[in-house]
Amino acid sequence: MNYELQNSAPLHEALRKHMKNRIVRLDVPGHKGGRMNKELKAFLGEQVMACDVNSMKNLDNLCHPVSVIKEAEQLAADAFGADHAFFMVGGTTSAVQTMVFTACKAGEKIIMPRNVHRSAINALVVCGAVPVYVDPGTNKRLGIPLGMSVADVEKAILANPDAKAVLVNNPTYYGICSDIRGIVELAHKHGMLVLADEAHGTHLYFGEGLPCSAMAAGADMAAVSIHKTGGSLTQSSLLLCRDSVSEGYVRQIINLTQTTSGSYLLMVSLDLARKNLALNGKELFARSVAYSDYAREEINKIGGYYAYGKELENGDDFYAFDSTKLSVHTRDIGLAGVEVYDILRDDYDIQIEFGDIGNILAIVSAGDRELEIERFISALSEIKRLYSKDPTGLFDHEYIDPQVEMSPQKAFYSDKRPMWINESAGQICGEFVMCYPPGIPILAPGERITREIISYINYCKEKGCLLTGTEDLEINYINVVE
């Protein structure tokens, strides 16, 4: 990384210069710096509205950058150790889908863990690629899916030598990493690309003592949510690439789906976040780790909870743990994670990232304050005292191995009929069912519906999980393939 160059932010500097010119706004957006919508201007602030501008020559164009956006993307590539970087204003969802569209055409195979984000399977629905699922490992105590073992990936590669790519979560939502170096070496040996979903891995590029980043491991492409842990605005992300894929072709793929009206608020936030991470990331993420390590230790002293960490690393499907993640198992106090999530929000005004049926996740960053960490720990202690009960009867696992009967695209676009979920066992699912967050499908198009899955869905509804994906917003009916 060239630290001297990283001290600049070309897009931010160009936009600041533009704002000083007092340009007459005879273009879009129609709010004209907020004058058309004074209530919105009062809410968001004059500076935000003034900076919400359209593409023009002096500010470059995201679809075909040749000046300041191009320079900003090159600085991002340098900071993250990539050959190329692309500003993404459709979130990491659009970056994940670009990776799949770049690597695979209709009918071609891609190897991936089944506990991928819905964006990856959505990409298969759109482009027609065929998944070869590798079932992740599981931890029986926690009941959560882990990473992929290198041995299981090798089995999938040997059984499907015509696959075009391997997709890896780095890390999972829970902070669990596969041996990405080993997977990259194996995939490249067999002529396959490696794509990394690093929606929760921005900090791996700058922190010390954290798991290996995708670019450092030699992956070909990585989708990185800068907004999650890197400090940019929500919906802004980076797509990182090696020279093993064509920069021009990737840009063409991006432009198939990404807006032609890229938000300069999002892009400038990426430019400034990259600058901050390059110059201060080591210090910032050291603070994140320190906060998380302290909270883990204190939460485990409470008893009943299990804030897990590096002690579970096994060199295999739990190859490494991202210690910035504050993942806490709650089932032993007799509460589902989503129940603790709701109590924290409703009774203590503490908003954590998510709760599922056995765990909660708090996202900790250098932007937090010690007092807030202490408040979180104290709230968990009080919740245990006030609400703990016998855990008998709680579901003990998050992940159910799928029975894949047809490709996601074929199932999604087949003739379908709605069916009462409780009567759908044995049918082939024609849509998605998932809890959000984390957005990992319980059912994806083309998978067989089983009684175990139906019980799991009903349990999630009973515990208050936010279920999404079905055409029926009440999640009482599910579309099945005729």
Q: Is residue 430 part of a domain?
A: yes
Residues 300 and 382 in one domain: yes
Residues 378 and 418 in one domain: no
Q: Output DSSP code: residue 56.
A: B
Q: Look up residue 321 and give its two tokens.
A: 């743990």
Residues 383 and 458 in one domain: no
Residues 373 and 455 in one domain: no
| CA distances (Å), origin 450, targets 330, 400, 407, 447, 456 | 27, 10, 18, 9, 10
Q: Would you call 38 exposed, middle or buried from its count of C-beta atoms within 10 A (0-12, 13-18, 19+)? A: exposed
What CATH number has the domain bearing residue 432? 3.90.105.10
Residues 289 and 374 in one domain: yes
Cβ contact 230:256 at 8 Å: no
Residues 378 and 323 in one domain: yes
Q: Is residue 95 part of a domain?
A: no
| CA distances (Å), origin 309, targets 17, 175, 257, 321, 480 | 47, 9, 38, 6, 40
Q: Give the global pTM.
A: 0.95
Q: Is residue 163 part of a domain?
A: no
Coil, helix or strand at residue 421: helix
Residues 366 and 412 in one domain: no
- Write down which residue in 357, 387, 417 finishes a domain: 387
Residues 417 and 468 in one domain: yes
Q: Look up residue 480 and give its two tokens.
A: 């099945």
- Write down which residue in 354, 387, 420 finishes a domain: 387
Q: Is residue 348 part of a domain?
A: yes
Q: Is residue 70 part of a domain?
A: no
Distance CA 264, CA 241 (A): 22
| Parent domain of 376 | 283-387
109-139 core/surface letters (b: 16 or more CB in 10 A; e: else) = bbbbbbbbbbbbbbbbbbbbbbbbbbbbbbb
Residues 340 and 430 in one domain: no
Q: Is residue 318 part of a domain?
A: yes
- Helix and strand totals (H; E) in the chain: 17, 20
Distance CA 341, CA 350 (A): 9
Instruction: List CB contacts of 361: < 8 A, sequence separation 6 or more.
Output: 173, 174, 325, 326, 327, 328, 352, 353, 354, 355
Strand partners, 343: none
- Write down which residue in 358, 387, 416 finishes a domain: 387
Q: What are phi and psi of 67, to 5 degrees?
A: -135, -105
Q: Is residue 305 part of a domain?
A: yes
Distance CA 114, CA 123 (A): 14
Give, for all 482 residues of the chain, the pLDDT tens digit: 888 899 999 999 999 999 988 889 888 999 999 999 999 999 999 999 999 999 999 999 999 999 999 999 999 999 999 999 999 999 999 999 999 999 999 999 999 999 999 999 999 999 999 999 999 998 888 888 999 999 999 999 999 999 999 999 999 999 999 999 999 999 999 999 999 999 999 999 999 999 999 999 999 999 999 999 999 999 999 999 999 999 999 999 999 999 999 999 999 999 999 999 999 999 999 999 999 999 999 999 999 999 999 999 999 999 999 999 999 999 999 999 999 999 999 999 999 999 998 999 999 999 999 999 999 999 999 999 999 999 888 887 778 888 999 999 999 999 999 999 999 999 999 999 998 878 889 999 999 999 999 999 998 998 888 999 999 999 999 999 99
Q: CA quadruple 465, 469, 473, 478: dihedral positive or negative?
A: negative
Q: Output DSSP code: residue 135.
A: P
Q: Look up residue 399 and give its two tokens.
A: 């992940």
Distance CA 170, CA 175 (A): 8
Q: Which of 197, 195, 263 is nearest to 232 (CA)?
A: 263
What CATH number has the domain bearing residue 305? 3.90.1150.10
Q: Look up residue 316 and give its two tokens.
A: 């295999």
Q: Is residue 245 part of a domain?
A: no
Count of structural domains, the chain: 2
- Ramachandran area for residue 469 (φ above 0: left; ψ -120 to 50: alpha; else beta): left
